[in-house]
Chains A and B, each alone.
Chain A
Amino acid sequence: MDVSQYLEIFLDETTEHLQNLNTQILELEQDPENMDTINEIFRAAHSLKGMAGTMGYKRMQNLTHDMENVFSEVRNGNIKVKANMIDILFQCLDALEEYTGNIRETSDEGTNDNEPLIKQLNDILNNKEGGAGAAGEAQEAFAEEKSAGEAPAGGSSGASKWQDIKLDSTDRMVIGEAQKQGKNVYGLTVKVQETCLLKAARAFLVFKAVEELGEIIVSSPSAQDIEDEHFDLDFSLLVITEASLEKVEDAIKNVSEIDTVTGDSVDLEKIGAAEKEAAGQEAETPAAPVEETPAKVSKPAKPAAAAPAADSKPAGKTAAAKPVVNRTVRVDIEKLDVLMNLVSELIIAKNSLVAAASANDMQKGTSVQSGVNEHIEYLESVTTNLHESVMKVRMVPIESVVNKFPRMIRDLSKKLNKKMELYMSGEETELDRTVVDEIGDPLMHLLRNSADHGLESAEVRAQRGKPAVGSIWLDAYQDGNNVVIEVRDDGNGIDTEAVKNKAIERGTITPEQAANMSEKEIIDLLFLPSFSTAKQVTDVSGRGVGLDVVKSKIEALSGEVEVHSTLGEGSTWTIRLPLTLAIIQALMVVVGGEKYAISLGSIQTIEDISPAEVKLVQNKEVIHLRGNVIPIIRLDKELDVVSSKNPEDNMVVIIAKKGDRTAGFVVDELLGQQEIVIKSMGKYIDNKCKLISGATILGDGEVALILDANVLI
């Protein structure tokens, strides 16, 4: 069977389930008696097994099957959760992740049978009274009990739905013809189990099985709808075949995860007719667990018959014990990009309108104009809202990235033999999908760094009077137009002396340079490629790749990373990322007759400064502003243009901030705040000018460049 079209869904869902398992098993380790957690684990393992089986990944299925057995026993109270069991379970999850990884790359699960793991799982099972066999039985009993419990909900009205199939005249003719030729025409209603995850795949298998025996004339819903999974739990078929009804039913029942099959030979008079006599057919349908109630049989008309069926569906759904993970619609990111581009165009069009209206304003009287302006203001609010909503669609919580970290810290704790605890907050903070996908690695590096280099060994901690268990915090929060992620630890902090010595030893800096460097500059050395201060190269870190990668990754996302550290008390790594990458609020300025945009995100205040206030410190121009000395940067010089302003006039200074550094930019004129769409300047010259981070198209069609204030500060 061709399952490739389901591969993506399979991978997505498997990843989700594995993550869920990781989280839950961690919880189980803390609270081994928690029944909710155990149930949750069991369900996730069960779903994984089902999905792997459907897709034909046997090894994955075997492993999950054994895991499921263990959980089943735990659930029944026959096995107690122990530390070594948790370890084995985590190893199983790693093995499953490996399978998933293989599948993602080659669409094959690989050849690793993971027999030692399966053996260990079986050992766990065998060590309790009753043996492993009972586990399987118990689980089957559970499955049966479950399906029995579910059946009445959907079964009572749905068992013979095929009778509701609408036939057009050609279909009737075909059926009539077939019956004349002595072939059997059967109507079948197939109900899949409520826990079935790939219903369309199951339906596909059913279709295939039936087509081997005969010909499917009609299905309800249509074959296309079934393929797109537009059906609830059951679907109906009309089949022409030479085989017997039992044979067809058996063939269908051979497809796994099929709950019930109800079928009978078709009587053209009856099907789709107003009056239905279903009672007789029920006798021949042993597979249906519940007999149809007379109430339904006597329903006079089709629409009425359909109504109770529809009613029973939601009831069946709520009863289904599907874990409530995030309820999402998967949308191709390219479709969102298209939507985003359209919004961008709209904003440009709106800006043109605004520009045109204000130009008109100056020429004509304003009586007619006020009406137009009102409409433009309305358009403006609509586009802004639209932009925000499209942005939000692209936003995902960073949860999907950070929730693998507790597991990682646990493993590190064992590996490094240090006791540590990870505290996370703000997992619900949202970021653009593309950013979230990229941010995982840098965060992982920082956490590993904290665990390995940051936290001291138990002895040192005891000497320093710190709690034996080291703490690492991961906090995320939104700050204006930025999202801030902080990785903090209460470990040793950065030993600037050690860094300095190492740098001198490596020849990165000379001793004279070192003597003149500020703490901050020394810490920045850590971000240089291949610089590691770990005295020992460990498995975890110390190979000197890491911080430079962290830095370049984050800068590629237009973000920045900073470190604050106090020796002996710990260090804080702060990552600051822009909320959005495509449309920003910017301040438009004029420098030497050219228009530039500066992102509002970095701007603190705008000041009116008299030239007399500019002082020289170390041959650099600075101003004294509310107690702070701020260096000023004359943009006309930086941009190689000649300012059109009289040097004796007051200067317009934009105070911008990058981390804890501040600078003032001198511009000629302010044009105002505007929403701008960031455009690339084209492959050829993008990144050739470091000062310019992109371009934008203004309302009048002119191109304005976007100044990257961060480069200048």
Chain B
Amino acid sequence: MEELKAIDEGMTTQYIVIRLGQEQFGIDIQYIDNIVRMQHITRVPKLAPYLKGVINLRGEVIPIMSICLKMGLAPDEEGKSTRIIIVKLEQYGTIGMMVDEVKEVVTLNMASQVEKMAYDKDDKNNFVLGVGKYEGGLISLLDLNAVVQEK
């Protein structure tokens, strides 16, 4: 909801631009704790497919999820550019999210550069708050709580 308010008030927000498959997404920088390279993930049995397992992040055990699988996109292709974005959410604690590539940080003016997304029943869009326009093209701004939330 905070994001929506920000959109109304025409403030600027910084987003980290990530790539999932061919599409670009933006994650609000305020939730991001850390970005680490891909490492060995220990599988945890009996979990939903999008929960990949856990990693050791400097002595803490952190759960890892795949945004792609959660949003119903094609599964991640692990490669050299794959990263884990560590986000901190009040309700769910620390979570690592696998992304195909981390590109850059952009600053978007909420009034002029972001278009709010009309509510769409299409599942995929439920994860997106709006679309940002910047020189490189369009980025879908992710609603992290919706991404993390179990359906």
Contact = CB atoms under 8 A, between A and B. Distances in A.
A675 to B, nearest CB: 16
A682 B42 contact: no
Q: Which of A685, A692, A695, A701 has the most CB of B within 10 A?
A: A685
A62 B94 CA distance: 53
A695 B43 CA distance: 11
B119 interface: no
A460 B45 CA distance: 54
A685 B54 contact: yes
Contact of A705 (B42, B55, B56, B95): B42
Contacts of A695: 42, 54, 61
Given A689-B47, A695-B54, A594 B42 contact: yes
Contacts of B63: 681-682, 684-685
B59 A685 contact: no
A9 interface: no
Nearest to A348: B59
A681 B46 contact: no
A685 B95 CA distance: 9
A697 B95 CA distance: 17
A689 B61 CA distance: 15
Interface residues on B, range: 20 to 34
B45 A691 contact: yes
Given A684-B93, A705-B44, A697 B56 contact: yes
Contact of B59 (A345, A683, A684): A345
Interface in B56-79: 56, 59-63, 65
Interface string B30-47: 000000000010111111
A682 B57 CA distance: 12
B54 A703 contact: yes
B51 to A, nearest CB: 6
Interface string A207-234: 0000000000000000000000000000
Contacts of A638: 45
Contact of B42 (A683, A689, A690, A703): A703
A681 B62 CA distance: 6
B151 to A, nearest CB: 14
Contacts of B59: 345, 348, 697
A701 B55 CA distance: 9
B61 A680 contact: yes
Interface residues of A, number: 26
Contacts of A691: 45-46
Given A697-B61, A703-B55, A685 B40 contact: no
Q: Which of A638, A682, A690 has the most CB of B within 10 A?
A: A682
Given A689-B44, A689-B45, A682 B56 contact: no
A640 B45 contact: yes
A683 B93 CA distance: 5
A685 B51 contact: yes
A121 B148 CA distance: 64
B51 A692 contact: no
Interface string B77-100: 000000000000000111100000
Interface in A668-713: 679-685, 688-692, 695, 697, 701-705
B45 A684 contact: no
Q: Which of A638, A679, A690 has the most CB of B within 10 A?
A: A679
Contacts of A141: none
Contact of A704 (B42, B47, B95, B148): B42
A679 B61 contact: yes
Contacts of B44: 681, 685, 688-689, 692, 705
Contacts of B43: 594
A640 B46 contact: yes
B56 A701 contact: yes
A682 B95 contact: yes
A639 interface: yes
Given A695-B54, A703-B54, A682 B61 contact: yes
B51 A682 contact: no
A702 B42 contact: yes
A259 to B, nearest CB: 55
Interface of B: 40, 42-47, 51, 54-56, 59-63, 65, 92-95, 148
Given A685-B54, A702-B42, 11 more contacts: A348-B59, A639-B45, A682-B62, A684-B94, A689-B46, A692-B45, A695-B42, A703-B54, A704-B42, A705-B42, A705-B54
28 contacts: A639-B45, A641-B45, A681-B54, A681-B63, A682-B54, A682-B93, A682-B94, A682-B95, A683-B93, A683-B94, A684-B94, A684-B148, A685-B44, A685-B51, A688-B51, A689-B46, A690-B46, A691-B45, A691-B46, A695-B42, A697-B56, A697-B61, A702-B40, A702-B56, A703-B56, A703-B61, A704-B42, A705-B54
Interface of A: 345, 348, 594, 638-641, 679-685, 688-692, 695, 697, 701-705
Would you list the 8 A-B pairs with minimal beta carbon distance, nearest first? A683-B93, A703-B42, A685-B63, A682-B63, A639-B45, A695-B61, A689-B46, A679-B61
